[in-house]
Amino acid sequence: METIINPSKAQWSEILQRPTKTIDDIENTVTQIFDDVKRNGDKAVSKYTSLFDGVDLKSSLVTSLEIQKAVESVPSELKQAIQLAKANIETFHTAQKNQNVDVETTRGVRCWQEKRAIQKIGLYIPGGTAPLFSTVLMLAVPAKIAGCTEIILCSPPNKNGQIANEILYAAQLCGVTKIYKVGGIQAIASLTFGTETIPQVYKIFGPGNQFVTVAKQLATKYGVAIDMPAGPSELLVFADDSANAAFVASDLLSQAEHGTDSQVILVTTSKVIALQVENEVKKQLEVLPRKSVAEQSISNSKIVYLNSIAEALELINEYAPEHFIVCAKDEAFFIDGIINAGSVFIGNYTPESAGDYASGTNHTLPTNGFSKSYSGVNLDSFTKSITFQKISEEGIKNIGQSIELMAEAEGLQAHKNAVTIRLKDLSYKCHIE
């Protein structure tokens, strides 16, 4: 890890740059595949599955028999762990249900808001070297709580044409409607347009590599919503002398092993901790099964030393991390002051891994600085709010003249007339009575 001592603010932008390609580098590829899937449907999907995943499939749909075999293959202890995680995720996301807003804004004018589930959603679950069955829980559990009626899951097949047993078990446990062996850009395109076998959805959820992230952004041009631009994983840790260097190093490596394009950063006000963490990273890295992946990620990562916690917080908010760990004497300073972060983990005994799996919070979070404007996935991500209003005779009398004046000032005579005709009707009724 590169260590940077007291960088000037002019250097921050360069220091905090993510190790990702620009959209221009990959947008042409994504656009070509989208166009192909839109025109040729399943035929195009099969072609790209063969090209990118190295497997030819007769059908991309996972059968009930495959699901049954997968469920039977998952060890009972792992099933119990997944069930515990599911229960905690259910508890946290069920607590996010809000009462409907119902208010009388003016006498006779009642306005209220109700939430409705998004009916058709698509879940993208990364596979590859680390099949993320935990992401199934993070997405399907709140979808079911929200009341989504159709939950379509896509995940890339392995070289044997299979999806990991754990992904299938989690999907079955959480009530996923249909599962397809489709990954990458072609999966997002399929969910966007629909094919002969894969249904079109209204909103797409789930993390992925840079190609998947750009594909999701392209999907929005075709009227399909997305949860957020969630790309390669990232973690920023603030640690002072109160931190445990071994713990900090383990957290940094936990995210570094996600992928070669992941990034981890340590910000500290302690040169002692900076050196200790650097040594611990080297030590722990040597025994990791995914050493080669983590090693490349660590090469993109940095240790930044700053003189004060105030300056540290300013830099952290500028970076806007996906995951933010605070190991500090004055943790309240960071809790109160953090503005831009996907999810925050506080104290020496709160590893980021807890949020990834079983504490109950959601791990589908905005990356690449998007936590400045996006929230992580939550229950509201699977719903939309509809406003209602009912106006009585008294109510239209109370606000009618204001509407007429405003409509006339904007030059919208028909808007004004829609009110005037009602007021005249009420005036006539009142005269008759």
**With contact defined as beta carbons under 8 Å apart, do 278 and 1 qualify?**
yes
Q: Point out the annotated binding site for substrate.
A: 233, 255, 258, 323, 356, 410, 415
Which of 278, 322, 352, 363 does the annotation list as catalytic?
322
Using CA atoms, how far apart are residues 196 and 189, in angstroms rounded to an integer? 13
Q: Point out the annotated binding site for NAD(+).
A: 124, 186, 209
Q: Point out the annotated binding site for Zn(2+).
A: 255, 258, 356, 415
**With contact defined as beta carbons under 8 Å apart, do 154 and 187 qualify?**
yes
Give 342-384 as a DSSP string.
SEEEESTT--HHHHHHTSSS------TTGGGT-PPP-GGGGEE
Using CA atoms, how far apart are residues 416 and 420, in angstroms rounded to an integer? 6
CA dihedral sign of residues 350, 351, 356, 362 = positive
**Within 13 A of 18's CA, how many CA atoms are on the CB side?**
23
**Within 13 A of 76's CA, how many CA atoms are on the CB side?**
0
Q: Point out the annotated binding site.
A: 124, 186, 209, 233, 255, 258, 323, 356, 410, 415
Pairing relationship of beta strands 383-391 and 109-117 according to DSSP bridges: antiparallel
Using CA atoms, how far apart are residues 195 and 201, in angstroms rounded to an integer? 11
Q: Work out the burial of residue 254: count CB atoms within 10 Å of its CB; fewer than 13 is exposed, 13-18 middle, 19 or more buried.
A: buried
Residue 204: its H or E element: strand 203-205
Among this protein's residues, is 322 annotated catalytic?
yes
Which of 323, 352, 393, 404 does the annotation list as catalytic?
323
Using CA atoms, how far apart are residues 58 and 246, in angstroms rounded to an integer? 49
Catalytic site positions: 322-323
